[in-house]
A and B are shown apart, each in its own frame.
Chain A
Amino acid sequence: MASSIRVRATSNGDITEVQTLIQHPMDTGLVKDAKGELIPAHYIQELKFACNGKDVFVANWGTAISKDPYVKFSFKGAKKGDDLKISWTDNKGGSDETTAKIA
C-alpha cells in the first residue's frame, strides 16, 4: 500500500527544507455524517521527523489541524543523501512511517 506520507526534503547546503503532506481524515468528533450520527474523532496526535538518529522536529496535533495535514519546517545539520525518517501515530492507535532521502 502506498504510504500515507508524502515528503519532499531538499538541501541547499546548510539548511534542509522539509515539506510534508499526510493523508488522514483528521475527524474532530464534532461533525455529523449524512445520517446525523457523530463521526468519532480520528486525528494524528504525534508526528516525528528524525535524521541521523536525532529528532529534528516533533509535532503534537489536536483536532484543529486540517484534513490531509501539511507542514513545513527547516533544519540544519543534514546533507544531501541523508535519510529522513517520518512517523505518525493517531488517537486510535494507527500509525505509519516512511523514510525519505534528502535531495
Chain B
Amino acid sequence: MTTHTGPHPTRRLILQGAASVALIGLGNLPLTPARAAANDKYPEEAFKLKNEADAIKALYGKTAEPSDKIKLDAPEIAENGGVVPISVTTTLDKVTSISFFVADNPNALAASYKIPDGTIPAVANRLKMAKTSNVTAIVEADGKLYSATKEVKVTVGGCGG
C-alpha cells in the first residue's frame, strides 16, 4: 500500500485547486460554457455568494448594463423587511430569464426565474431584506444582460422572522 501513497498528495492538490477555482472563479473562466444552459439546474453556487457582482457573474457569466426598458416596482420604504413586495416588467424582446438581487443581504441572489418562449417577461414576488439596500433586477434578453436598480429603505429587518 505504501508504494501507492506517492501520487496521492499531488492528486489531492489538483483536486483542491480545482475546487477552489470552482468556488472563487466561476464565470471568470473562459472554459465555463454559456450560463444559459445552467439555468436548467439549480444554481447552488450563485446562491451561496455574498457579493452581488460575484453572484451575477456566477449565474450568467457576464455583466449587465442598465436599461430603461426594465421597470422595477418596489416600495420606497418597507416597514417589514421580511415581506417586501417587488415586481419587474420589461419591454425587452426575447427575454429568457429574470433574477432578483438584494445587494446588502447575507447572500445577494434572491431569486432567478426562467422565462420560456410564450411566457410574459414580468414577475411579482416577495423578498426578505436584512436592511436598507439596493434591489437589482437583471433581465437576460437575446443573450445580453440588462439591469434596473432601486433602493428600498427598510425600517425593520427581515432577519427577526
User: A65 at the A/B interface (Cβ < 8 Å)?
Assistant: yes
Q: How large is the interface on B (under 10, 10 to 19, 20 to 34, 35 or more residues)?
A: 35 or more
The answer, among B82, B110, B112, B123, for a CB contact under 8 Å with A73, is: B123
- A60-B42 contact, Cβ under 8 Å, with A69-B126, A72-B125: yes
The answer, among B122, B125, B128, for a CB contact under 8 Å with A70, is: B125
The answer, among A15, A65, A77, for a CB contact under 8 Å with B111, is: A65
* Distance A66 CA – B87 CA, assembled complex (angstroms): 14
> Total interface residues on A, using CB and 8 Å?
30
Quote the shortest CB–CB distance from A23 to chain B (angstroms): 14
Within 8 A of B (CB), among A51-89: 54-67, 69-77
The answer, among A65, A70, A77, for a CB contact under 8 Å with B110, is: A65
User: B33 at the A/B interface (Cβ < 8 Å)?
Assistant: no
- A61-B111 contact, Cβ under 8 Å, with A66-B128, A71-B124: yes
* Distance A45 CA – B158 CA, assembled complex (angstroms): 19
Within 8 A of A (CB), among B121-139: 122-129
Sample of 10 A–B contacts (CB below 8 Å): A28-B106, A31-B159, A56-B119, A57-B113, A58-B114, A60-B47, A66-B84, A67-B161, A71-B125, A73-B113
What is A's interface to B at a CB cutoff of 8 Å? 15, 26, 28, 30-31, 45-46, 54-67, 69-77
